[in-house]
Structure 1
Amino acid sequence: MLRPPGPGIRFVQYSLPLLAAAQTSGVLFADVFFLSPGHALIGGGFCFVLHGATAIYPRLRFVCALGAGFFLGAFCLTASIDSDSSTFLGLSEDAVVEATVCDGPSSSKSHVFLKLCSATRVPGPGSLNPAPDFSHLPNIAVRARTGEAEGLRLMQLKRGQRVRSYLRLSRIEGLRNPGGRDAWRQARRQGIGVNGRLLNAALVVRLPEFDEFSWASPGPVEWIRRTRSRAAGLLLNSVDSLRIESGGALMAALALGDRSGLSRSAQESFSRLGVSHLLAVSGLHMALLVGFSYRAVFWVSRMWVGSRPYRDRRQLALACAVVLAAGYSVWAGFGVPVQRSLILFFATWVIWLSHRRPPMGQALTLAFVVILLFSPSALFELGMQLSFVATAGLLFAARFSERERLASAGSFGMTFTQGIRASSVAIALTAPLIVQAGLPLSPSGLLFNVIAIPWVTFILLPLALVGSVLVLIPGGLAESTVFFMKWLLGWTMEVARVVSDEWPLVPLYGFLNWPVFVFLLGMAFLVVWVPRTVRSVTLCFCVLGWVASLPVIHLTGVMPRIVMLDVAQGDAVLVQGRSGIVLVDGGRAFEAGGDMGRSVVAPALRALGVNNLAAVVASHSDIDHRGGLPYILENFPVAELWLPDVPDGKGAFKSIRELAEKHGITIRLLAQGDPDRVVGDLRFKTLWPMRSASEDSVNENSLVLRVEIAGRRVLLTGDIGERSEWALFDQGLDLRADVLKVAHHGSARSSTNSFIRAVNPEVALVSASCAGLSGLPSPLTLQRLEKADVSVWWTGRAGAVEVSFEPNLEVAGSIRVSGWGGHRICPAAESSIGGELARTLPLALP
């Protein structure tokens, strides 16, 4: 019989949450103020000594314990951060590197990833200096494309091996935009200081003297990981129909935690329905597995043990269930939700062995503390935050709804009622975190969760777990069974897609300041606290309604304004007037999947308060300009789509035309001589191309628009080159503008001296990466602009650039959001100066 908590347990009940809070504060402090491991050790040691010297002062001892927890959290984070990150000061460097594989390899549908530690430069053909001052390098994140020779070579490496490779090293410098995140800080939290790209698959040498590490030899854990990889490969590499293939991808996601096979459209369908959390391996999977194994072992042990005491069978069954859960945690990828669940089950088992009833929530707090000890960077992951917040809310809600549960015990309505209450609690508690992260929140999530959770829990999840094992068994019966399971899961994917496409769903977006965030959390806790399901659901809808009505916070600047977003090698310019908003280009799309419209432009638009667009413009058909526009057309209300009226022989605009027709967006083809287009307080005049333009050059046929905004002029030039600039100049058009969007990312074959004089801008905006890809922007172009006394703002150097027009013309530089830095040092492709100068010398003359 379980006894109530004793004095020791009661002390833990109150002290453990405070220690967890102190540890969390230490992690946050170290992340913001870059505390060194040595300083954290000194502070922790001082608190430890003071704790021992104040035995007669219990409260002071407890304060010292909290201080020790604070410095412990700081030390855990700083120890995981690479201390050599300051030794790599170059922008980019080719080098021969010796390092140890400390994490990976892991693969997705597009890339193979690997983490190298204990890295050093060695003399070789890629080293500029055979005897560098700093031989040590920070930890390196190596990436290669899946399926290519470099990716296949990385997949052959194993954890613990010492390798020598020829890499192109580059600084971690993410894009800086409103609504964006600091890529450098995120990599730093993971202990990564440098990016690396494998230049040649043949130049990877495994050093045999390091192959005999005992910890690198295959063991039970490594065997489970390899078997899991094999099972995932068999599930994902299906040669059957598309529906069967999608079923295999869903089976791998549910059973193995491998979502690499799920298409982006499939994941978006689950997200719009508000059930994307079901795609992640979580405590639901662990609870189902532990419950089944506990019942099975208990039934078998009852047959063997006979008349022995009941508790012996129960403890044996629980022990076997915990061991099985540990094996499954490795099988499922050992993510944070799995770690949390495993620690919860283990802590419950240990407390149960002491014959005491575990205090509510203490096992969850212990799981939080343990995870922060070994992986402090997980604190900053949205998945961990949502997992712990939702679980804690469900635990407390179960306590407060005890009377309702007892009153309706034994009825079918009890299960349905508790399911609705659990969904409302989870949605209300996680809504502030989701919205704060800039992600969409589905208003219909409560309804679809009530339907989807039982279907996934009792049908799909057991099928996925069994199928992930059967797929490893050869034979016709096993293959036929797995085929049927894939077919059923594939139909589930199809239903989710159809419902998400046909159901009138409007995802909720918003950005919260701290007072609103705290207010929403308070309302969410009311959802947990009220004992009745009807009240919980009502308050949950109040939370969603509040999110839907949130006023958007404009981050900086005065409107009207122009914001050139930092999209690396590409263009995305927002023209934002008082009553009209137009987006010109949407950044790049990538061959491996994904685009700048999804990852950069959409979050920036929402952060800038843009809920709809009067027009979206594709200046020309290059992928670095139109690639992100499909996502914008799909997810924002757009009135018109403007395209250049030139031949589209390759059909590059076909996809965005079809999207525009699907959503009822008016398509307008623009060319020189068209009437001015008035959008609110904005006036657009089309200067180029001519309708008689040929198809020989996509860049030369770019749309050139002159925008009149607040009495000022902005010239948007797309990617036109010297030929189009001379044509505009020869036609005697009025090219004068206060702001010039420099053509073709600052190419030396654009922005001639004559064109710059004709425009006579005060400010020039250049959209190009800091690394100077393809030699852009050219140093010659920057020199011409500086010689003309033009203030040059380059997104790679300054981040997103805002130009506001009231009361006076001013450039605000980077729009400041948390984590953004100042100006970067970006050498403008100095290695290409000689070649560019030889080819463009006539352009540099008056």
Structure 2
Amino acid sequence: MGLVFSALIFFLFGVLFIGRILHPSFPQNHLLHYAGDSKFNIEGLIDRPPDPLEDKVRLYVRAEKIHFQGSQFPVTGNLLLTVKDKKVDLRYGDRVRFISRIYVPRPATNPGAFDYRRFLALQGIWVTAYANSAEEVLRLEEKQGNTFFHFVEGGRERIRKFIDETASPKAGGVIKALVLGERGDISREVNERFIISGVNHILSISGLHVALVAGFFFGATRFILRFFPFLLLRLNLNKTSALVAVVPVIFYLFIAGAGVAAVRSTIMVLSFLLALLLDREKDLYDALFVAAFFILIFNPAALFDMSFQLSFFAVAALLYFIPLFTEYFSFLKTWPYKSWLEEQPPWRRKMLFYLAGTLLTSTAAILGTGPLAAYYFNRISLVGFLSNLLLVPLMGFAGTLLSLLTAVLVFLSPPLANILTGLNSFILEISLTLVDLFSRIPMASRRVVTPTIPEVILIYGILVLAANLKRWKRSLPALILLGAVYGGIQIHEYIFTYYNPNLKVTFLDVGQGDAAVIQIPRGKVMVIDGGGTHDGSFDPGERIVAPYLWREKRKAVDYLVNSHPHPDHLQGLLFLLDNFKVEKVWDNGERGEEFPLVQALLEKSGGRLQTMGRGEGSREIEGVKVEFLHPPSEKEKALPFWGNDASLVLRLTYGEVSFLFCGDLEAMGEKEILKAAGNLESTVIKVPHHGSKSSSTQPFLEAVRPRYAVFTVRGGARPPLPNPAVLERYEAMGTKVLRTDRDGAITFVTDGKKLKVQPYLGKTPSLE
């Protein structure tokens, strides 16, 4: 009960302060008031170490002035400046100037999507800016700010340069991640292999790394002190070792850049070392909650940060589950198992105990973080138990310690540091090979639907009760009860999903692109387009469409439709093909070398791909009529269309309600549909080509006469969309306008007669 009470106190403490953090009052000169279409010449100080990524660098700037039309104005506020250039020679303490618009990060605009505004707000950042190259950011002064942090950054820069010069590219990227906390040299492909293998946590400095460093120096100090009996008579072995371990832990914190996660991990480890110094080593739960208390005192919002939650639950699981696990294996202390163990050579006994301890530790940590990982990442690694058994010692322990010792020797003995780097590179190359092997195991990782908060709580309750079957007499009935409740929820969700008589259409906000999810009565799912970016830097399929489907408890897509092969429509569908069970794939049949994504679609779709168009006939899917209105199929032998005008146009009709999906159709394609089709009237239209002036001609709108028009647009687009004349055209007809840049995801639910509209943001339009 004490643990539950403490957890409740922390939760209430976080809730008390989260509102003030997410909704503060801003001074009149805050950068937030300058956000908009105007560009400003901004001056400020880089007050954190730059964050290098694979193809860009993020700079955390504390704004000081804005230069505008010959005048300068003092401003306040932190700003995240993203420089789309890897070669940025800027560091902590540089005063810089740059010209950019000031953007307000958008909140989560889709169900299940990542809330970027909230993520930055928890770091005290409310606006962002962008520069296309390093030359656009001018350094005015150097070495401003805290002198000690300049000293630390100088050391980090020296370590970084040494790693670049001596380590292999692959190993060097991992060494930087382990010792400097920088993951920019680790490619997306390698990072994905770590995720699939269940060892991605090794690449992020966390409580694991800090605890391993503390444990190594604690053990090394104990070992060394045993050779000095006169010191043992004067010193307490455990307390002295704990005190010595504090030094490398703090050194590691600063070498790692003193990031938020590293600071939290250090506080947790220091609290456990303090427990040893105060003779409270048996009160480890108290040490854990003391660490949480100090973290939340300085940063109450950390309670709602997933990295804090994962770290806290991992440590709590180790403290809670490992003693329980050892009880289940207490039979090993009895005959004949004890006799067998005693007969083994000492090295073999140590190896067996090490393997058992590592396996139990990995199991406890995975059980403690698994439900949260499913909630946040929709992924469970099935090889994680085995991969952690090998890779935590190799990379987490040996790799981290060698990297840290190398960092020290860079200043003391570069030749010796070079030798350690070679050894470390060898170990890490082996580790990377193992990661690659684990990631290639069939079913190494499973994608899972998003559990609800009650489901997560039930899973943790089931794990706790299952672990206490030997301790608590009433744990079995309680376990059966919780299992029954959880099973009942799954049955209810299954019935609601696969026996639902309603048609649900959701237009997702993927920026300047299209993505619509249609949940057809009785469980069928159709996805029309998946959004995308022209440079491939952001994948809406992975970040928006898939999370929405998982939130809706969907692991399969029955019909995957690509209106035309432009990146802002096709790119996101490729992720769905890789991570969902897809039955059929429809496209408009357009091919060509100018569409590089088409080749990927062909390879991933295989025999499931079918070209559709007018002349293919309609389909009836669980009472929903699907008509193909454009482009003309080869059967019709009509003039060919290409580009936007070749978009696959579908109309879905359910009872008295119909939806018209127009892709990026332009005037020529609209004219062809008017010539060939009969009645085009539709309740809802997905506005052609995002509301550009080349589409939505007056004759076409008069034929469709929609009650609702959905514009899939991105705020701040150049040229601005929707085009004002097009917008006025719809409004003049009395059509209710909905926009993804303003309303977020837009959901329509109908039983074939009534129609309910649910914008994710804003208010629901009045219904006729």
Question: One fold, TM greater than 0.5?
Answer: yes
* CA spacing shift, 1:345–1:175, aligned 2, 3 Å: closer
2:561 counterpart residue number: 617
SS in 2 for 1:507: strand
The answer on 1:396 being equivalent to 2:338 is no
Distance apart, 1:565 and its partner CA: 0.4
Measured in 2, the distance between the counterparts of 1:445 and 1:795 equals 39
SS in 1 for 2:511: coil
1:158 counterpart residue number: 92
Alpha carbons 1:232, 1:256 under 8 Å: kept: no
Measured in 1, the distance between the counterparts of 2:409 and 2:115 equals 43
Measured in 2, the distance between the counterparts of 1:454 and 1:531 equals 31
1:285-304 maps to which residues of 2 (within 5 A)? Answer: 285-301=209-225
Alpha carbons 1:179, 1:438 under 8 Å: kept: no
SS in 1 for 2:714: coil
Q: 2:285 aligns with which of 361, 365, 386?
A: 361
Q: 2:18 aligns with which of 7, 24, 31?
A: 31
The answer on 1:325 being equivalent to 2:246 is no
Measured in 2, the distance between the counterparts of 1:438 and 1:164 equals 37
1:75 counterpart residue number: none
1:12-91 maps to which residues of 2 (within 5 A)? Answer: 22=9, 24-32=11-19, 88=33, 90-91=35-36
Deviates more, 1:676-685 or 1:637-646: 676-685
* CA spacing shift, 1:218–1:646, aligned 2, 3 Å: closer
Task: String of CA shifts for 1:650-689, please: whole Å, max 9, x gaps.
Answer: 242001211223xxx5111123322324444333322222
Measured in 1, the distance between the counterparts of 2:424 and 2:391 equals 17
Measured in 2, the distance between the counterparts of 1:315 and 1:576 equals 62
Measured in 2, the distance between the counterparts of 1:476 and 1:678 equals 74
Alpha carbons 1:269, 1:496 under 8 Å: kept: yes
* CA spacing shift, 1:397–1:502, aligned 2, 3 Å: closer
2:651 counterpart residue number: 706
Measured in 1, the distance between the counterparts of 2:455 and 2:121 equals 30
1:104-119 maps to which residues of 2 (within 5 A)? Answer: 104-119=49-64
Q: 2:631 aligns with which of 689, 706, 715?
A: 689
The letter for the 1-side match of 2:581 is P
Distance apart, 1:757 and its partner CA: 0.8
* CA spacing shift, 1:696–1:724, aligned 2, 3 Å: closer
- Segments of structure 1 that go 5 or more residues without pairing to the other structure are 1-12, 37-77, 239-244, 825-846
Measured in 2, the distance between the counterparts of 1:770 and 1:527 equals 50
Measured in 1, the distance between the counterparts of 2:151 and 2:65 equals 32
SS in 1 for 2:587: strand
Measured in 1, the distance between the counterparts of 2:423 and 2:281 equals 44
* CA spacing shift, 1:82–1:524, aligned 2, 3 Å: farther
1:446-845 maps to which residues of 2 (within 5 A)? Answer: 446-457=385-396, 460-462=399-401, 482=421, 485-486=424-425, 488-505=427-444, 507-529=446-468, 552=493, 559-579=502-522, 580-589=524-533, 591=535, 593-652=537-596, 653-661=598-606, 666-690=608-632, 691=634, 697-731=642-676, 733-815=678-760
The letter for the 2-side match of 1:704 is V
Alpha carbons 2:395, 2:428 under 8 Å: kept: no
2:337 counterpart residue number: none
Measured in 1, the distance between the counterparts of 2:148 and 2:264 equals 27
Measured in 2, the distance between the counterparts of 1:344 and 1:430 equals 17
2:345 counterpart residue number: none
Measured in 2, the distance between the counterparts of 1:528 and 1:461 equals 32
Q: 1:383 aligns with which of 307, 313, 316?
A: 307
2:346 counterpart residue number: none
Task: String of CA shifts for 1:393-428, please: whole Å, max 9, x gaps.
Answer: 211234445656777477454444444433333233
2:336 counterpart residue number: none
- Segments of structure 2 that go 5 or more residues without pairing to the other structure are 334-340, 342-348
Alpha carbons 2:30, 2:75 under 8 Å: kept: no
Measured in 2, the distance between the counterparts of 1:597 and 1:607 equals 14
1:16-415 maps to which residues of 2 (within 5 A)? Answer: 22=9, 24-32=11-19, 88=33, 90-124=35-69, 136-147=75-86, 152=88, 155-159=89-93, 161-198=94-131, 204-208=137-141, 213=144, 215-216=146-147, 219-230=150-161, 233=164, 245-301=169-225, 306=230, 309=233, 311=235, 315-335=239-259, 338-355=262-279, 357=281, 359-401=283-325, 408=332, 411=349, 413-415=352-354
Deviates more, 1:777-786 or 1:707-716: 707-716
* CA spacing shift, 1:463–1:631, aligned 2, 3 Å: farther
Distance apart, 1:471 and its partner CA: 8.8
Aligned-residue RMSD, C-alpha: 4.0
* CA spacing shift, 1:646–1:111, aligned 2, 3 Å: same
Distance apart, 1:109 and its partner CA: 0.8
SS in 2 for 1:672: coil
1:51 counterpart residue number: none
* CA spacing shift, 1:23–1:615, aligned 2, 3 Å: closer
Distance apart, 1:785 and its partner CA: 0.6
Alpha carbons 2:66, 2:75 under 8 Å: kept: yes
SS in 1 for 2:664: coil
Q: 1:442 aligns with which of 381, 389, 392?
A: 381
Measured in 2, the distance between the counterparts of 1:738 and 1:578 equals 18
Measured in 1, the distance between the counterparts of 2:123 and 2:29 equals 14
The letter for the 1-side match of 2:155 is I
SS in 2 for 1:178: coil
TM-score, length of structure 2 as denominator length: 0.84
1:39 counterpart residue number: none
Distance apart, 1:359 and its partner CA: 1.8
* CA spacing shift, 1:18–1:162, aligned 2, 3 Å: farther
TM-score, length of structure 1 as denominator length: 0.77
Alpha carbons 1:700, 1:720 under 8 Å: kept: yes
SS in 2 for 1:437: helix
* CA spacing shift, 1:594–1:479, aligned 2, 3 Å: farther
